[in-house]
Structures are given as C-alpha cells and as structure tokens.
Amino acid sequence: MKIRTLVIAMALMTLLPNVARADEGMWLLSLIGKNYADMQKAGFKLSPEDIYSINQSCLKDAIVGLGNASTPFWHFCTGEIISKEGLVSTNHHCGYGKLQEHSTVEHDYLRDGFWAYSKDQELPNPGLTASILVRMEDVTAKVKESLSDDMSEGDRETAIKKVCAEIEKEAVEGTQYAAKVKPMFNGNQFFLFVHIIYKDVRLVGAPPSSMGKFGGDTDNWSWPRHTCDFSMFRIYTAPDGSPAEYSADNVPLTPKHHLPVNAGEINDGDFAMVMGFPGTTDHFLTSYGLEETMNIANKLVYEIRTVKINILREEMAADQATRIKYASKYASCSNYWKYSNEQNKALKNLNTMGVKKEVEREYMDWARRQPAPKYSRALDLVREGYAARAKSEEAILYVREGLLTGPEAPLFAAGLCRAFMRQLEQDKNADLTGYTKRINSFFKDYDERVDRRLSAALFEHVFTNMDPESCPQFLKDANKKYKGDWTKYVDDLYSKSIFANEESLGKFMLKPNKKQLEKDALAAAGQEALDAYFSLDSAVPQETSDNLQRGIRDFTDGILQINEGRKLMSPDANSTIRLTYGNVMSYDPKDGVSYHYYTTMKGVIEKEDPSSSEFAVPERLKKLYAEKNFGPYANKKGEMPTCFITNNDITGGNSGSPVINGKGELIGLAFDGNSEAMSGDIDFEENLQRCICLDSRYMLWVIDIYAGAKNLIEEMDIVR
C-alpha cells in the first residue's frame, strides 16, 4: 500500500471513513455475510450459506487442509475435493515430498511423473492428514471471562490454555472430531475450530517435475508463469466412513460436497474466490517489527541459505540419486530463500516503512485521547522489546540456519546420542534396535559427502559473520586448531564419528559403548549448537518479552476499536480456513510494462532451454503442442491456457487452494504470488498484488490428453 497524500488512503488509524476492499482480507467463513454485498458486486452468484453452513452441505465441506499427524492443525498446503470418491487436487509442490519419498533411481516419479490408472495403484502416505472444517464458533467471551488487564502475561497464558482446553474437550466429547481454539487479532479474539481429520491419504497422480516445477527458482514468485503446478491425492476412510489409519480394507471418502471443475472461458474481470488454510501474515506489524524482519530475518535467511543452495545445486545436477535424495529438501530451502530477498525488495520499493510510521502517528493521535493509559504505552513497549532482542535474534538465525538446519548430521547425531545415552545409563547392554526406523528414515535421504560440504561451508560462514560473543565455542576452537581450514576440520569430525554414516552407526549398535558416545565430537558439536540456540532464545528477560507481547496486543486492540463500524477487518492468517475474494485481473507492474491476465502453452515452448533443468520441456508435450492436440480444453482462440492471475489475498498455506468462480465451480489452483507485491503478508498492495493460479483446463489436459488417465476424468463433474 503506497502513500498517495499526506493521509494514507488505507492507513488503518485515520479518522476518515473507510471502505472495505473486496480484494483484501482473509475472511473467517462464519462471518462472511458481512462481506456479502461486496461479493455480489464482484460477481458472486451464491449465498453465504452456500459457503458456510452447519445444517447443509456447502463449499467448506470440499476444502481440505493438508497436514501431518504430529501437527494436524497446522496445514502446510490446501487441497479441494473434486469428485464424489474423495479425489483431491492440490499443488505439485505440495505433493513433492511424497513424490520424492516414493521415488527411486529405477522409479523416478520426480522426473517421470506418477499416475494411478486404478485405485489399487494409489500409494499410501503414512503421517499425511486431510482436515475438513465441521464448524467454527466465536468463543471470545468465554475465554475473556478468565482474563483481566492486571494479569501477568504468564498468568494470562496459563488461564487461556486452561479455558481453551475445556472448550475443546466439550466441543468434541462423544464425537470423532478434533478441536482447537485459535487466537485472532494478536490475542484480542478467540475462535473454536472443529475438524474431522482423515489419516489415510494416498497419492493418485502428478506430472513430471519438468512440468510441475517448470521455471524453477528463476520463475518462482513472478509472472508470467507456465507452471503445471498440481498433484492429486485421494482420501480413504474406514468402511463406515470414519477416519482411520491406512488399511487395505479402507474405502474412498464419500464427501458432503465436491467442486465441479469448470473447463469454460475465463475472462479478465471474472469473479474469483480462494478458500484455503493460509499460514501466517503480519498485517498489524509495527515499524519496529518491520525493521527486524527486513534487516535481520530476511537478510540473514537469504545470505545463509545462498551458501546451502549453491552447494545443493551443484551436487544435485551431478548425480540422479543425489537429486532424488535432496529434491524435497532443496525445494523447501529455496522457496523461502527467494521469498525473503524478494520481500525485502518489495518492502523498500513500496515504502512500507513509511506507511507503518504514518499508521503509528495516526494511532498515537487516537491513543492520547483514550482514558486507558495502556494504549499510549503500547508502542513504547513494542519499540523497547524489539530493541532488547535484536542481538539475540540475529545470533539465533545464524545458529538455526547455519548450524541446525544447514547440514543434517550434527543435529541428528546430538539427538540420537542423547537417546542412546539414556538407554545405556539404565542398562549398559541395552538393545538399541528400537531406533532402527528413525535411523533408516534419516539415511534414506542423506549423503555424507554432501553433508560434509555443507558443514564446512556453513560453519565457516557462521564463524566469519556471527557476533563473536554469541558464536558457539566449538567453532572458535575449530578455527584456532585448524587455522581456518574448515574442510579439514569437518573431515576429521565426520571420519571419527559413529553418526556420520549408516555403516559406522550399525557397527556401534552391535556393540554399544557409553564412553564412545561421550567423546563423539560430531554429536557434541550438534549439542552445543542446540544449547546455544535455546540459550539465545531465553537471553531476553522474560519481562521484556512479556511487555512486547502486551504492547502488540494493545496496539492491535486500538486498531480494532478505531475501525469498528467503519471498516471490516480480517484477522491475520494462522492456518485456519479463510476465504478471500476478488477478480481475475491483469496489471501494470512498472512504467511501460503491462501483463496480460493469462498465459498459454505457447509460452512453455518459447521458454524451453535444453541447457537448463528449470526450462526442460517433455518430448510428449512438444509433440502434442505441435499437433495442436488440446482436446476439449482449448479456449475460444484455439490456445491451450496454462495459468491466470487474480487480485486475491493469499500467502503460504494457500498453495493448492481452489480458485472458485461465482457459481462455486473450480477454475484453477492458487500456487504463487508476484514479486512486485511480496510485501503483501505485511501490507497488502491493492494495485500490484496478484495471486498466480494454474488454469483448471491445463490440469484437465494433462490428466486426460498427456497422461491418458481417463479414470480420473470420468469421476469428475466437468462443466464446459
């Protein structure tokens, strides 16, 4: 959002009347009736009850949050049910990890794609969950009955946990559901979400990575795009329809609702609605928080991950087995690596810092007139809190990114060493084979030589750039002993460790020895890095952290009060289901440049570069394109559409979300945002913000014409 006059048009705190924008906001489904008039103006043809209802089937029943069994209420991606047999579509990059897990050198599903031409060919994925909202409820009043302004933050948190646990227990008693109370508006409101969580989710299909990741890092966060970013899963249940772990006796889910798939025209200005589980946004971030985000978090993540990215690129390009092992890890690392850099560029270009400071000036004009002094104090508490933790936040990022999540062996060694020690302290002849599954899982996607390279490069980077006062002692000792030869240090570290490879670890487990564990330097290095992380995390006095949290909450409360009755406001994303609406829309990113609202397969052919793995084009696709074999999926001009853009407000977690037209039909899958407005998670830019979407026609074409998976086409309701 940009400064247009002395008063910012959308500065949250101005006393001028505000009008809610249809293209901004991640709205709670149960409150969508407040937006209904705006949605109708934008082209919505259904009713609020068609979106959210607890008495009839509705769109919410077709929206799936993809998660893990250990954290089922944190959704890494979104999917949508598109058949009466529980078929789910989502993004290719959402299914990428599962494709990688199932891939081998002999069956390289990352390279070749995967298709189940019958249900018995679908692949199980232990630990993957699919969550569907049953109902939601505003429980703010119930929670706040236990709270008061004079509580300490610790007492407040304890009281919230207690009452939320009671609400959650009562909500699901006697049912097969799961419940979670989530805070909204930085702890000023609370909502209960009741879900049904399915535990048998099987891989059904995905195009090859050359299509599903077409454009790679180069095209990531940019438009125009031609990425065929989709994969398909199926939800299975016990024969009685209840959630169940994988079993051969399970049957496909019969959903309450599934989305028809529209294969018709998409025009500039058409209504577009995205429903999904966005991860996190920070629209109430202050200028002080923004300074930390830009100058510490984004800056260091980009710099440190660049070291890791460059090594992985070299190693993956040189060997197929290494590429398969590290494909998912690389994708996870590179996505936020580019995001952090592009977000900083957008924040600077759009003068977001200036916007935040103007917002705070307007806020203080309001706060000084309030009888409660907490509003006037809020920004002082925020400023002092961020200043007090700046040094430790920087050190934490170096340790986390460079030592704990950079190389893998040190942290793995530390964790397993602790577990072994506990066993051997109880019984020197303890049987350690119970850890075999954990060990096999780690080494399946691990290469010692690659990890040595990562350790040497990242240890050197951290030691060279980190504040010496916070640097872990083992790095200081290594630099002194090895005179800056980090490769030699790491070679010694790994060659003498029982944890560096599967063979040495296997020998140790046959004849475990406590003294050998005690002198393992690799495990010790990992443990010291972990200890440093927790020590740095607790370095800021608790009172300062509490005051920061209180200041943010009071500041947000002030924003809500000022806008009450004049401007609809949506809470920040927190992995709960949301709806955002707007329109298909082209845009002008800079002077002299205009972007059309859709792309076609012609662009795939134009971008082909045989020398680059990012822009490789499968021979079959080129052949079908040359023949103009687009089946019934071409547009009226005879083009094969690939992607389109809307002005919907999305973020991470929305990946795979359905893009739905005014009639409730699937027209595409959201998969990315545009770099020009990468500031959107902090400050929505209404002129530039775009959601990049896979056209449903391209998905259908790949399933039908490219892959020949007629079985999947036949079970969908396709609207032409």
φ/ψ of 369, rounded to 5, equals: -90, 0
Over residues 599-627, mean pLDDT: 97
Please give the angle made by the CA atoms of 649, 651 and 656, to the nearest 5 degrees. Answer: 100
pLDDT in tens, 298-332: 999 999 999 999 999 999 999 999 999 999 999 99
Known catalytic residue: 257? Answer: no
Number of H helices, E strands in the chain: 26, 21
pLDDT in tens, 199-209: 999 999 999 99
pLDDT at 20: 33
Assess whether pLDDT exceeds 70 at residue 2: no
d(CA 258, CA 62) in angstroms, rounded, equals 5
Query: What are the residue ranges of helices labelled H in 319-373?
Result: 320-349, 352-367
Residue 261: in which H helix or E strand, if any?
strand 261-262
pLDDT in tens, 628-660: 999 999 999 999 999 999 999 999 999 999 999
d(CA 550, CA 542) in angstroms, rounded, equals 12
Catalytic residue among 93, 195, 226, 461: 93
Beta strand pairing call for 77-81 and 658-660: unpaired
Listed range (130-139, 604-613, 679-688) with the worst mean pLDDT: 679-688
565: confidence class by pLDDT, cuts 50, 70, 90: confident
Catalytic residue among 23, 61, 229, 672: 229
Query: What are residue 71's DSSP bridge partners?
Result: 68
d(CA 650, CA 692) in angstroms, rounded, equals 10
Q: In this structure, what is the dihedral angle of CA atoms 407, 412, 418, 420, given to the nearest 10 degrees?
A: -140
107 burial level (CB within 10 Å; 0-12, 13-18, 19+): exposed
d(CA 80, CA 78) in angstroms, rounded, equals 7
CA distances from 419 to 39, 89, 464, 500, 507 (A): 55, 40, 32, 16, 17
Nearest residue to 94 via CA among 213, 196, 198: 213
d(CA 267, CA 644) in angstroms, rounded, equals 10
pLDDT at 271: 98
14: confidence class by pLDDT, cuts 50, 70, 90: very low
Largest CA distance in the chain: 76
DSSP 8-state secondary structure symbol assigned to residue 113: -
- Could you tell me if 337 and 307 are in contact, meaning their C-beta atoms sit under 8 angstroms apart? no
3-state secondary structure 588-613: EEECCEEECCEEEHHHHHHHCCCCCH
Over residues 695-711, mean pLDDT: 98
pLDDT at 137: 98
pLDDT in tens, 473-491: 999 999 999 999 999 999 9
Over residues 538-547, mean pLDDT: 93
List, in sequence order, every beta strand (DSSP E) within 405-548.
none
pLDDT in tens, 222-251: 999 999 999 999 999 999 999 999 999 999
CATH of domain 29-127+199-283+572-719: 2.40.10.120
Residue 81: in which H helix or E strand, if any?
strand 77-81
d(CA 663, CA 660) in angstroms, rounded, equals 8
* Residue in the block written with tokens 């750039």: 465
- Say what angle helices 374-397 and 521-537 make with each other, to 10 degrees: 170
Known catalytic residue: 93? Answer: yes
Assess whether pLDDT exceeds 70 at residue 9: no
- How many CB atoms are located within 10 Å of the residue 513 CB? 13
Assess whether pLDDT exceeds 60 at residue 17: no
The string over 671-710, giving b where at least 16 C-beta atoms fall within 10 Å of a residue's C-beta and e elsewhere, is bbbbbbbbbbbbbbbbebbbbbbbbbbbbbbbbbbbbebe
Over residues 67-77, mean pLDDT: 94
Assess whether pLDDT exceeds 60 at residue 661: yes
Over residues 685-703, mean pLDDT: 95
Catalytic residue among 30, 655, 657, 675: 655
pLDDT at 474: 97
d(CA 368, CA 363) in angstroms, rounded, equals 9
- Could you tell me if 470 and 536 are in contact, meaning their C-beta atoms sit under 8 angstroms apart? yes
pLDDT at 530: 97
DSSP 8-state secondary structure symbol assigned to residue 617: -
Average pLDDT, the chain: 94
Over residues 437-466, mean pLDDT: 97
pLDDT at 21: 42
Known catalytic residue: 594? Answer: no
**Amino acid identity, position 14:** T
- Could you tell me if 487 and 495 are in contact, meaning their C-beta atoms sit under 8 angstroms apart? no
